[in-house]
Structure 1
């Protein structure tokens, strides 16, 4: 079979971030992972290249091969690149320390794992700021978080207001019930007094009538005795 027929099956795939933002003087982790259809061999190699913004020139800044890492020891990145990858775990990442504005540009990661050597490199664009700007996603997250906090506060206030209103209603109803019970008690006392007054009057009248009758009877008895 021709080699062109084997290439699609042996194409290695490399993955990086599309863009990273960082601050001057800080460090940045340039992630590079890959997938290969072959076992990771001792001949695997990882290369990083750098193309500054507004420039067509490309510079080799790092190379890993035969188990050894070779950093840039003469150019722009001298003593600033750290190898943190582990090819056995399909990781070819590096860290750049002490960032400067001159580090703005495109970084390309290329991986070869013979015989799996066909595939496209992957690149990441680095933006170095005096102070990294807040990302749109972060701003959106802050807005959503603030809105949720506001909703929770409003809900708590509404609950507290309703709770206080219900307590006040219960207290008012209790006071009204106490007043109604007091009025009924007074009315019951008044009704008892009004019932007793006619009875006492009737008793007085009965006693008066009986006394008058007794006197009349006694007078008639005395007159009869006188006649005799």
Structure 2
């Protein structure tokens, strides 16, 4: 069994590890790299394709380094690398191993975009493209994101018949509900006006009856004055 001293030391180690984890957690979550929601993008042979990449950092950045790598079926190479001095500077390319590649991003106006444009794609360009970012301001913290490029003869046409039918049905139902609401309001308005007219008729009819019957408040025929 552990003695009191051993238990105290174990508790101190556990507490120290927990505090260290809490201290490192914001750092590990600060720098993020994204290549968009799609894991795979398609490009037609002999066309060009934009490979997206953006980054963000809660602590800002200074002399940030970035690079793109290509990992094909039997090839791995660095395509491009560069740096970004600060939030007000555009990315600067230092090395480019493929003349078909152009840096298409900008960090101005907080875009933090380091996307690349690959021109005249070929079937051999099919593979994984990884965007790396390293931030010296965060103790050289590094993150990356990967996207898969598939080069094809032609893009397959997507059959949107089912989607169109669903949208048409939903639109028809919404239109019917709107029509019913408008019709309900119209009927309510007509009934209200009809009831108001009935009330006016009843009041007018009641006045006429009183006049004919010589009741108080009526306009009965006045008697001639009595002669003395």
TM-score when normalising by structure 1 = 0.53
Q: How does 1:1-228 map to 2 (within 5 A)?
A: 5=21, 6-11=23-28, 12-17=31-36, 18-41=39-62, 43-52=63-72, 54-55=73-74, 57-66=75-84, 67-73=91-97, 78-88=98-108, 89-116=111-138, 117-134=140-157, 138-139=158-159, 141-145=160-164
Report the structure, 1 or 2, having the larger helix content: 1
Alpha-carbon contact 1:10-1:36 (below 8 Å) kept: no
The aligned length equals: 141
Instruction: Give the number of the structure whose alpha-carbon radius of gyration is greater.
Output: 1
Hey, what does 1:223 align to over in structure 2?
none
Alpha-carbon contact 2:49-2:119 (below 8 Å) kept: yes
Bigger RCO of structures 1 and 2 (CA < 8 A, at least 6 apart): 1
* Distance of aligned partners of 1:142 and 1:97 in 2 relative to their CA distance in 1, 3 Å threshold: farther
Please report the RMSD computed on the Cα atoms of aligned residues, expressed in angstroms: 2.9
TM-score when normalising by structure 2 = 0.53
Hey, what does 2:185 align to over in structure 1?
none
Alpha-carbon contact 2:61-2:137 (below 8 Å) kept: no
Distance between the aligned counterparts of 1:105 and 1:10, measured in 2? 31
Unaligned runs of 5+ in 2: 1-15, 85-90, 172-228
Distance between the aligned counterparts of 2:169 and 2:56, measured in 1? 46
Alpha-carbon contact 2:135-2:141 (below 8 Å) kept: no
* Distance of aligned partners of 1:118 and 1:142 in 2 relative to their CA distance in 1, 3 Å threshold: farther
Distance between the aligned counterparts of 1:51 and 1:35, measured in 2? 25
Q: Deviations over 1:64-93 (max 9, x none)?
A: 1154213534xxxx3210101113422111
